[in-house]
Chain A
Amino acid sequence: MLLHGQTRTVLDRFQAETSINLSSQLSLIKEQYTWNHLVSTGYGRQLAQKVLGGDVITEIKAYTTAAHHFHPAIDTVIDLGGQDTKALSINRTSGQLHKFEMNDKCSAGTGKFFEMMASSLGLSLDELVTEALRGSRSVEINSTCTVFAESEVITLLTSGVALADIARAIHEALLTKLVSLLSKVMRSDTAQILFVGGGAKNRAMVQLLTEALNRQVIVPEHPDFYGAYGAAIHAIQSTR
């Protein structure tokens, strides 16, 4: 993400699948772009710093920074990423992070879960979401561990449950995880939740989360770039 220092408008945005050779991917960025200040975030932040220089912040700090900048009225953020799920509580006045929660190692329940479940149903991710939106709440899947969930899904399929209902149940299983993480950081007067990370592009998930929390769920324009926005804003703020 390339942000203009004064106007803070997006100059360029770029996304790539991570490959085994992350270093050479990063080197390409170095050849193609120029910048004054760089901040890296996310799981590859240290490697990015090694290759590209600049500073690093965690994605937790990046989300906090971006959330306070773009949505100052927000005090609660949920991030559904590919690797993990996080819930953040932000002080609305100071913009400081007050508290955060992350999924534990063994309580899987990340964006990867949808990908795995879609493929075990022979669907694309989009198709899974569309099915879920059509489905009703007739069955439950209790596990967010992909191995167990897969066998639950197969049992449901073979017992004749509608595909749409299974797709919905898959979403509900993850929803439970999100709600439990959120309940640890949400305040009683929290009116809006900011939903970011790749998982926020899932329309079914947004709808279910809104219903379950009975609160407004806001999804920013590019939820999967939110960490990069935060890092870029941090880069601008920390040079002033």
Chain B
Amino acid sequence: MTPLFNDDFQELPLKRALAQVMAKREAGAKVVGAYCSYAPVEVVWAMGGVPAVLCAFSNAPIAKAEETLPVNLCPLIKSSFGFIELKTCPFFELTDAVVGETTCDGKKKMFELIQEHRPLYVMDLPQCPTNEGAVAYWRHSVNGFKKFLEGTFATTISDAALEESIRECNRKNRLVEQIFAFGACAPAVITWQELYAVATYAMSAHGPEAIAQLEEIIATLTARREQKLYTSPEGTKRVLITGCPVGGDVLKVLKLVDEEGAAIVGLDSCTGLKPYANVTEEGTGDPLLAIAKRYLQIPCACMTPNTGRFDVLKQQVESLKPDLVIDLVLQSCHTYNVEAVKVESYVREDLGTNYLKVVTDFSQQDLGQLKTRIAAALEMS
């Protein structure tokens, strides 16, 4: 079967992303590190910069982080912080500036601890996105970020550049959506490893080069579908992953699904489709407002109410037809953990699909138990 990427980074999506960021940096682009899907990357691209994802999913630096941070904190925050302390995160080491958002409490306060390392801008994110004034307020934050970049790098970001960047990102995002839509094929023609690789690639890719690569991937997938080159046999049970972002050591959960002979056909989280969904309106005359509107539609559990999450789940379940929805919650992530109560009842009662919540961290100690849980949930699906 033809791989989706024709390069030296097969099964190494993070190494590929690192190479992308390094190449752009060598060509003179400023690297802006981001921790969240709310970071408006259009502004970074408009400046001629490149965004790099700093969320870490490795268990290795957690012990270091726990020297400073409380143990009962989300592993994603601990891992990201530990890497910075150890100076071993290659992405962070490449950054010229960092942007954060006031999403969850742990992250928000962690930013205060890293601000001495890099120029840092924290965007204040309204958490009731449908309340009056929320979009206007968030536009101020987006504008603040733009001014921060302009000040830090002694440059100006014109409206025309922003419009151009919005168009490019929309184009790229639609292609990523098209690729994820192949998840609906039964039998499957795309694996979760490939979905994850595409999502990781697209974060630091832009312009004609990105478009060409993504179009080539679509051609490969179309050929697979037409030639009946399936990635798992007919009748394989299908799984949709939702919840917190996943990567690195927490991919253990996804690997267990593979081990149990099921196929993951959708990644709904921030390391999957979520950052690429929704369209930023083009040619409005106020690109910052258009950006603000689009980003506030991201259905993150930090928001209340977070009705968009349920719309997306409905749409994903209807198109991907999973037998099981796994809601992956990182330990101590209160927002996703509490939202799981509603997600469970929505998936089970309204969508009529089996549901399993998994609360885990980046360690390997719960592998045996997770395997039993996932196997049992698949047995009943």
Q: Which residues of A contact B366 (CB under 8 A)?
A: 105
Given contacts A105-B359, A105-B360, A105-B366, contact A59 B380 (CB under 8 A): no
* Known contacts A60-B379, A61-B379, A97-B380; A105 and B372 CB within 8 A of each other: no
Q: Does B376 contact A (CB under 8 A)?
A: yes
A120 CA to B379 CA, complexed, in Å: 40
**Which label, helix, strand, loop or mixed, suits the secondary structure of the B interface?**
helix
Known: A57-B379, A96-B380, A97-B376. A83 touches B368 (CB 8 A): yes
Report Cα–Cα, A83/B366, bound state, in Å: 11
**Residues of chain B with a CB closer than 8 A to A210's CB:** none
9 tightest A-B CB contacts, nearest first: A60-B376, A105-B366, A58-B376, A58-B375, A97-B380, A61-B379, A58-B372, A104-B359, A43-B368
Residues B376 and A105 in contact, CB atoms below 8 Å apart: no
The answer to whether B376 and A100 touch across the interface, beta carbons within 8 angstroms, is yes
Task: Give the residue of B369, B375, B379, B380 whose beta carbon is less than 8 angstroms from that of A105.
Answer: B369
Q: Does B373 count as interface, using CB distance less than 8 angstroms?
A: yes
A84 beta carbon closer than 8 Å to chain B: yes
A106 at the interface (CB under 8 A from B): yes
- Nearest B-chain residue to A88, judged by Cβ: B376
Residues of A within 8 A of B365 (CB): 105
CB distance from A40 to the nearest CB of B (A): 12
- Shortest C-beta distance, A175 to chain B (Å), equals 21
Residue B130 CB within 8 A of the other chain: no
* Contacting residues of chain B (346-381) with chain A, CB-CB under 8 angstroms: 359-361, 365-366, 368-369, 372-373, 375-376, 379-380
Cβ–Cβ < 8 Å partners of A100 in chain B = 373, 376
In the bound complex, residues from chain B placing their C-beta under 8 Å from that of A60 are 372, 376, 379
1/0 contact string of A31-72 vs chain B (CB within 8 Å): 000000000000100000000000001111100000000000
- Most chain A Cβ neighbours within 10 Å, of B359, B365, B369: B369
Chain B proximity of A100: nearest CB distance (Å): 6
Is A102 an interface position by the 8 A CB rule? yes
A43 to B369: give the CA distance in the assembly, Å: 8
* A61–B360 CB distance below 8 A: no
Residue picked from B359, B361, B368, B373, most chain A C-beta under 10 Å: B373
Would you call B331 an interface residue if the criterion is a C-beta within 8 Å of the partner chain's C-beta atoms? yes
Number of interface residues, chain B, beta carbon within 8 A? 14
Interface centre among A57, A61, A104 (most CB of B within 10 A): A104
Contact partners of A105 in chain B: CB under 8 A: 331, 359-361, 365-366, 369
Specify which of B359, B366, B369, B376 lies most central, judged by the most chain A CB atoms within 10 Å of its CB. B376
Closest Cβ of chain A: how far from B259's Cβ, in Å?
9
Contacts of A97 in B (CB 8 A): 376, 379-380
Using A104-B359, A105-B359, A105-B360 as known contacts, say yes or no to A59 and B372 having CB atoms under 8 A apart.
Answer: yes
Measured between alpha carbons, how far is A104 from B359 in the docked complex, in Å? 7
Asked if B373 and A102 make an inter-chain contact with CB atoms under 8 angstroms apart, the answer reads yes
Choose one: A57, A96, A102; the contact of B369 (CB below 8 Å).
A102
A83 touches B376 (CB 8 A): no
CA distance A59 to B365 in the complex (A): 19
Q: In whole angstroms, how far apart are the Cα atoms of A186 and B375 in the complex? A: 22
Question: Is A84 in contact with B379, judged by CB distance below 8 angstroms?
Answer: no
Chain A residues within an 8 Å CB radius of B369: 83-84, 102, 105
Interface contact A106-B380, CB-CB below 8 Å: no
| Complex contacts, B361 vs chain A, CB 8 Å | 105
Q: Return A25 CB to nearest CB of chain B, in Å.
A: 18
B345 to chain A, nearest CB (A): 11
Q: How far is the CA of A60 from the CA of B368 in the complex (A)?
A: 14
**What distance in Å separates the Cβ of B295 from its nearest Cβ neighbour in chain A?**
33
Smallest CB separation, A126 vs chain B (Å) = 28
Candidate in B361, B372, B379 with the most chain A CB atoms within 10 angstroms = B372
A99-124 toward B: CB 8 Å interface, digit per residue (1/0)? 01010111000000000000000000
In whole angstroms, what is the CA distance A59 to B371 when docked?
11
Complex: A43 Cα to B359 Cα, angstroms: 19
B-side contacts of A43, CB under 8 Å? 368, 372
Q: How far is the CA of A106 from the CA of B331 in the complex (A)?
A: 9
Whole-angstrom distance between the alpha carbons of A104 and B331 in the complex?
10
Give the complex CA separation of A228 and B254 in angstroms. Answer: 29
- Give 7 A-B contacts (CB < 8 Å), ordered by A residue: A58-B375, A59-B372, A84-B369, A97-B380, A102-B372, A105-B361, A105-B369
Q: Give CA–CA (A100, B379) in the complex, Å.
A: 12
Q: Among A58, A59, A104, A106, find the residue whose CB has the most chain B CB atoms closer than 10 A.
A: A58
Chain B residue at minimal CB-CB distance from A84: B369
Smallest CB–CB gap between A67 and chain B, Å? 14
Taking A102-B373, A105-B366 as known contacts, 14 extra A-B pairs with beta carbons closer than 8 A to each other, sorted by chain A number, are A43-B368, A43-B372, A57-B379, A58-B376, A58-B379, A59-B372, A60-B372, A60-B376, A61-B380, A83-B369, A100-B373, A100-B376, A102-B372, A105-B365
In the bound complex, residues from chain A placing their C-beta under 8 Å from that of B359 are 104-105
- A contact residues around B380 at 8 Å (CB): 61, 96-97
Instruction: A58 to B371: give the CA distance in the assembly, Å.
Output: 9
A121 to chain B, nearest CB (A): 27
| A105 and B330 alpha carbons, distance in the complex (Å) | 12
CB nearest to B329 among chain A residues: A104
User: Closest chain A residue to B370 by CB distance?
Assistant: A105
CB-nearest residue of chain B relative to A96?
A: B380
